[in-house]
Amino acid sequence: KVGHAPSNRDIKGTDQIIKVMQELKSTHGTRFEFQLIEDVPYNKVMQVYKSIDILIDQIYVGWYGGLAVEIMALEKPVLCYIREDDLKFVPQEMAIELPIIKTCPETLKKNLVSVIEMPCEELIELGEKSRQYVEKWHCPRKVVGQLIEEMNLC
């Protein structure tokens, strides 16, 4: 089950994502289900996120956002456009460990086919790497501790 939850359809590339998903229906229709996640009340949206296997975050912006972090914390793989030039702004180890399947409009279809056809074991392993990445690089206690240390706040 492939999910996409746009906060802004234009910025996230939703029309292009829907177009590609419709194209894939004709060749891989029984292998996946697409869920566009919009207008879901907050008290229900986490259940929807838990029900998907893969998230397409966005294909234009160049970096992942809070939703991608939440989905990776649920041990789910994420497809997202990552601007290679921006990787120099994060620690090298973080860039190397980034488990996101780097995707742009030109590679979306190919990457989706690859993930849809991926053996379950590989999909699970990628999900586990995603969770480990979030624990290492997005743990609020670690991030706040680093900020306090770097800014000499305490």
Q: What is the spatial distance between Cα 79 and Cα 56, in angstroms, rounded to a whole number?
A: 5
**pLDDT value for 44:** 95
Q: What is the spatial distance between Cα 2 and Cα 118, in angstroms, rounded to a whole number?
A: 13
Residue recorded with tokens 């838990």: 50
**pLDDT value for 153:** 61
User: Per-residue pLDDT for the chain (154 aa), expressed as one digit of tens each?
Assistant: 999 999 999 999 999 999 999 999 988 877 899 999 999 998 899 999 999 999 999 999 999 999 999 999 999 999 999 999 999 999 999 999 999 999 999 999 999 999 999 999 999 999 999 999 999 999 877 766 777 777 776 5
Q: Which DSSP symbol is given to 82?
A: B
**pLDDT value for 154:** 59
| Long-range pairs of 64-67 with CB within 8 A, sequence gap ≥ 24 | 64/100, 67/5, 67/7
Least Cα distance to 68 among 59, 58, 57 occurs for 57
* Three-class secondary structure assignment of 114-135: HHHCCCHHHHHHHHHHHHHHHH
